[in-house]
Structure 1
């Protein structure tokens, strides 16, 4: 533990500097603030709740004076974040609206210790939590209403994720750290649970639209009401954009042009980031029953910098994702039992048209090297769990479930490689597409995975100040076997305004089907691959210094074993990491509040004793919310990302640090119908980049100058609620 406090020492000056800045901001605190506080203290609970809409001024970092941020993702039971046996963050719809976020990625960048990087494949987001980075990002489990969104192919959210709009989101619950004892596979570095809006969140009908840079148009319709005893919430969201047009200076084909004396690369040229999305959700509940359905359609999804890191301006993907879940929840099933049963279904399809290399590649391929993949998956899940309160001072949770995940169709068409009809290589001048589906030359085979699990968890209230939570989950997989993952959390109410936590957790990441079964010319899967394992130890403090100032500090260390190396198809590597996260929420006046956090991590690849690379070692996020005049709100965000080293073997210098500033000005009457906003992202037009991969098998770097982020851009928004 001593090394953690030594770790804090060099950061102390930075912390003091930030505190000094906030203190300067606090100078204009009104002279009658003390009198106002004394007046509030004289009110009873009911009166204080009535005052909330005036004091919160619509957007407040404390989410109200009385209401505390609560979550279910940590244990399955609703509890306050400060008493949860995990390091958690809850982001509400109020927060999302205040910062002017239009996509999930913009929201997650505000979380301490979480950075949103980018992959070369379709510019997909990489949610880097505490320095754990990989291009396909299977280490983070993303849930929508508690249902996993992961796919079998890469073990992540899918190749054509296409972003997620935020207008239908009620709140987002985030665990930083392992969660396999509750959620099973892939709750490895963290869990992100997206809760969509219900009747009470919408309360009527909302119509909205947004236009802005990059030829972007958004529209949405939300409705929530009670009909014939049913609570019905319906949500429809549309998004269309060309994406930003930042330039890629050189790509893989640029290197081949030098080698073969050609000039066919599309670089320098813009990154391909177009997409057209449709999201629809329906939530119907009555009594103990709830039915939720959803659809996410993705069309015209650009290929980013290209599947082979060669610009592909015409490449497009499309995807359809359909989900449904039926839940029965009875909190008084018997005297001591609170029971939940759930059946869910998730169907995904993906089709791509991509040109790996342009026309003239190697002085051949008149139409370029073309691949048209199609992937089809079905996920069927059944679960039952219950809380038992029949033991004094104990709340026991038990559960079991069964998942059947079916990779039931894979179609592959291309104009190069081996012709299955002849068994011979196709001519470089071939222009016809060949079908490799269900042949020995197909890159993937169709197969399925079964998962049975059971878990046990006990929350023991030792006394009024001490709570011990222990749990274990057993998982059996049909392809790689059994894994057991425990957790232990001791929560101490050290003082009425100070909570301390000591946490331990073990989690696993299941190997994806591509890691197990891929059969391409470049990479081979290994059916004997085993899951990655992480063990994490954490020490956390939550301190409510005053009614208007909340501070938090988290210290962590972790060790990852059996790291999956996709290049060699083995479990031979390990990684260790340590770091800290600090948070502060401060309501300076009834019209001005500040939220800030700082995160540090140091993650080492043990094989080379070298920084894992690509993830920022330092992050600072600062948010201010200000109501300068009635009904007008100004939100400012500052995000500093620093010290991103390269992984072992990448000879390039560290990426440059960057500081992004965003502004949102909003007009909103508390009891009115209209809501207008103007949002400016990257106010100072900073040139910022996310890391591209290092050297490939050809011993050169395909995108040597990294992946550019968007420059300054604007959005205007209008909402009407009735």
Structure 2
């Protein structure tokens, strides 16, 4: 059997729900176990993401959601993206660009994947060029995931910049119990293969997974997204190529290894992906191909050095590189190749944390953090826009931080949690080499000197009225610093340096179990977001000008209600509703509806276990109507939207699962997404303003998976 496991892994390599109250570190939480727990038992379940250590759910200063292995199997989610689309308070927008789907949280949407920090086994997935958490860089197959912890709200005290809207930890090494699996999937749009093994050999424990996935992408006409197709004629779109077919294909290969020996541990992740996308204009031939390579290696040491003190230190190496082949043309472009952009960076992180039990009632977490981005590079040879340049820095980009969080139990009912992080980005100098090797070559430098020390606080008061009712008052701040890529945009376009984004949140969270069959969670929140960084693209003559700017102040008020029920042993139903209203407080903007901010989000999940081996589940998500960005320069300075508003949409999914089908461990999963085949649109974003109607969402998709656990 051991050799079979190795063969399965090598075979893959050659090709190279959420329950709003709970998360546990070392054991998968079965839904039937949770729904039979008392409130006291529920609040004793532990989560690791909120404080980088095991903490009872009752003690964490945050609102948490967990998705277990059982949830993923029960609802049959096809991808990590689909899992997150079903998390209360989160919604997705896909502009068909290079980032894949990006997420908004409780009414805030930035357009770039850098405001939620993604972790895989506690290792940050950001890279050193864009500082993005692009899902293509860690396209983990769902079969390899043991658990996902979603902590909503600013988490910058613990994780620093980037944890703006929250932190999501994807855990693939939850246990080393010897359980392994292999599966293949095939559907009307996608195919997939996955293998995973976990073993314990004496004091050495390891988990290893490898996966491959590919999708053909949708086959839709571009004119469903455009009011006037003649506007695209200049850009080479005609009756022969007016379709997305074979122009939005994707594939990825992923490998993850986790190991632990005594007090030492390691996590290694490697990912290759190719995403075809619409970059600035629709592709005219085979699709604009965005190729990414990512490698992350973490080595750590964890030890309980005394009864009162535990330490955890780790070093992480990141490598990221990309190249983008532009597949666009224009009526005035006479060349055969539109060009390409590329870049790469190495990044090093060091973190040392200590967890101190001062007394039984007083716990202190402290940490030191250092990050160095070495030799970031961005190159452009985009002939169609006459863009030829090389950008880098003369210095390493260094970030220093120290933080502490204190958790004090005043009495049996009342707990205080407070934290503070001090963070400083050292200044660095950027170099722009325009038209290298040509007579018109120029070399310019500019310093990024927004290097103040930022202090980031958080505070929580937690009150347990009785065993069935718990209140949390939460206050936190977070920042998001501009990346090397965003800063070089400002440099090249002659615009001022960007300032860090800031967010401040107040939340009142109430958890209750009114009966043994019902669990409820209510949150009321007030968020203030200042200096949101927004990207802009425009053509000046035949020159493409790209830059970012700090926007105004957005204020959101909202409420979120989640209810979990099990009317009978075999039937489970979860419902969640989020309402929010966001206002732009810049002068003259108060009457303008905020873009990309739906007022209403709805989620539902139903499951029924027929025999213990056969189950059926439904998932439903509703996202309210949304507006596009307001551009004050349009219509002769009178202002206007860059695209049309889009209607709200409802997506229904279904899953039928057979366990122990022919033999113990053999399973069959049939998942359908958007089974009503609703045609819906995401609002136009600045990367693709040609799609003034909006960009098309995913059509009906079915995926059949056959696998075996052993």
| Shorter-chain TM-score range | 0.7 to 0.9
- Aligned partner of residue 588 in structure 1, secondary structure: strand
Q: How does 1:120-199 map to 2 (within 5 A)?
A: 120-122=96-98, 124-158=100-134, 161=137, 163-199=139-175
Asked if 1:365 corresponds to 2:334, the answer is: yes
**1:251–1:311 Cα contact (<8 Å) kept:** no
- Aligned partner of residue 96 in structure 1, secondary structure: helix
Change beyond 3 A, Cα 1:258–1:277: closer
Q: How does 1:514-533 map to 2 (within 5 A)?
A: 514-518=485-489, 523=493, 526=496, 528-533=497-502
Per-residue deviation, residues 58-77 of structure 1 (Å, max 9, x unmatched) = 75483764874531111223
Question: Match for residue 378 of structure 2?
Answer: 410
- Aligned partner of residue 389 in structure 1, secondary structure: strand
Q: CA deviation at 1:131?
A: 1.2
Give the TM-score normalised by structure 2.
0.83
Q: How does 1:502-581 map to 2 (within 5 A)?
A: 502-518=473-489, 523=493, 526=496, 528-567=497-536, 569-571=548-550, 573-581=552-560
Question: Match for residue 272 of structure 1?
Answer: 247
Q: CA deviation at 1:558?
A: 1.1
Change beyond 3 A, Cα 1:270–1:500: same
Q: State the distance in 2 between where 1:545 and 1:597 align.
A: 17
Asked if 1:687 corresponds to 2:679, the answer is: yes
**1:160–1:318 Cα contact (<8 Å) kept:** no
Question: Match for residue 25 of structure 1?
Answer: none
Question: Match for residue 384 of structure 1?
Answer: 352
Asked if 1:703 corresponds to 2:695, the answer is: no
Q: State the distance in 1 between where 2:286 and 2:533 align.
A: 33
**1:172–1:193 Cα contact (<8 Å) kept:** yes
Q: CA deviation at 1:252?
A: 11
Question: Match for residue 468 of structure 2?
Answer: 497
- Aligned partner of residue 396 in structure 2, secondary structure: strand
Question: Match for residue 467 of structure 1?
Answer: 415
Q: CA deviation at 1:307?
A: 3.7
Q: State the distance in 1 between where 2:551 and 2:91 align.
A: 27
Asked if 1:650 corresponds to 2:636, the answer is: no
Q: CA deviation at 1:595?
A: 0.9
Asked if 1:100 corresponds to 2:76, the answer is: yes
- Aligned partner of residue 158 in structure 2, secondary structure: helix
Q: State the distance in 2 between where 1:327 and 1:210 align.
A: 35
Give the TM-score normalised by structure 1.
0.82
Q: State the distance in 2 between where 1:407 and 1:118 align.
A: 31
Match of 1:602 among 569, 581, 586: 581
- Aligned partner of residue 86 in structure 2, secondary structure: coil
Asked if 1:241 corresponds to 2:215, the answer is: yes
Question: Match for residue 721 of structure 1?
Answer: 709
Q: State the distance in 2 between where 1:243 and 1:414 align.
A: 26
Question: Match for residue 457 of structure 1?
Answer: 405
Q: State the distance in 2 between where 1:478 and 1:125 align.
A: 32
Q: State the distance in 2 between where 1:563 and 1:265 align.
A: 41
**1:534–1:559 Cα contact (<8 Å) kept:** yes
Asked if 1:338 corresponds to 2:348, the answer is: no
Q: State the distance in 2 between where 1:456 and 1:626 align.
A: 45
Q: State the distance in 2 between where 1:247 and 1:292 align.
A: 43
- Aligned partner of residue 62 in structure 1, secondary structure: helix
Per-residue deviation, residues 126-177 of structure 1 (Å, max 9, x unmatched) = 1110111122132111111222212343331249548442221111111221
- Aligned partner of residue 611 in structure 1, secondary structure: coil
| Residues 267-276 or 140-149, more deviating | 267-276
Question: Match for residue 88 of structure 2?
Answer: 112
- Aligned partner of residue 151 in structure 1, secondary structure: coil
Change beyond 3 A, Cα 1:125–1:60: farther
Question: Match for residue 38 of structure 1?
Answer: none
**1:453–1:474 Cα contact (<8 Å) kept:** yes
Q: State the distance in 2 between where 1:264 and 1:517 align.
A: 39
Change beyond 3 A, Cα 1:695–1:179: closer
| Residues 398-407 or 618-627, more deviating | 398-407
**1:59–1:625 Cα contact (<8 Å) kept:** no
- Which consecutive unaligned segments of at least 5 residues does structure 1 have? 1-51, 420-435
Q: State the distance in 1 between where 2:284 and 2:299 align.
A: 44
Q: CA deviation at 1:665?
A: 0.4
**2:489–2:548 Cα contact (<8 Å) kept:** no
Q: CA deviation at 1:693?
A: 2.1
Asked if 1:232 corresponds to 2:214, the answer is: no
- Aligned partner of residue 505 in structure 2, secondary structure: strand
Change beyond 3 A, Cα 1:378–1:444: closer
Q: State the distance in 2 between where 1:405 and 1:380 align.
A: 6
Asked if 1:220 corresponds to 2:194, the answer is: yes
Q: CA deviation at 1:119?
A: 2.9
Q: State the distance in 2 between where 1:404 and 1:310 align.
A: 37
**1:254–1:267 Cα contact (<8 Å) kept:** no
Change beyond 3 A, Cα 1:651–1:325: closer
Match of 1:374 among 342, 347, 353: 342
Change beyond 3 A, Cα 1:379–1:60: farther
**2:658–2:668 Cα contact (<8 Å) kept:** yes
Asked if 1:668 corresponds to 2:659, the answer is: yes
Q: State the distance in 2 between where 1:395 and 1:333 align.
A: 16
Q: State the distance in 1 between where 2:55 and 2:482 align.
A: 33
Q: State the distance in 2 between where 1:344 and 1:367 align.
A: 42
**1:316–1:352 Cα contact (<8 Å) kept:** yes
Q: CA deviation at 1:695?
A: 10
Q: CA deviation at 1:124?
A: 1.2
Change beyond 3 A, Cα 1:376–1:502: same
Question: Match for residue 24 of structure 1?
Answer: none
Change beyond 3 A, Cα 1:309–1:512: farther
Change beyond 3 A, Cα 1:139–1:311: farther
Question: Match for residue 398 of structure 1?
Answer: 366
Asked if 1:638 corresponds to 2:607, the answer is: no
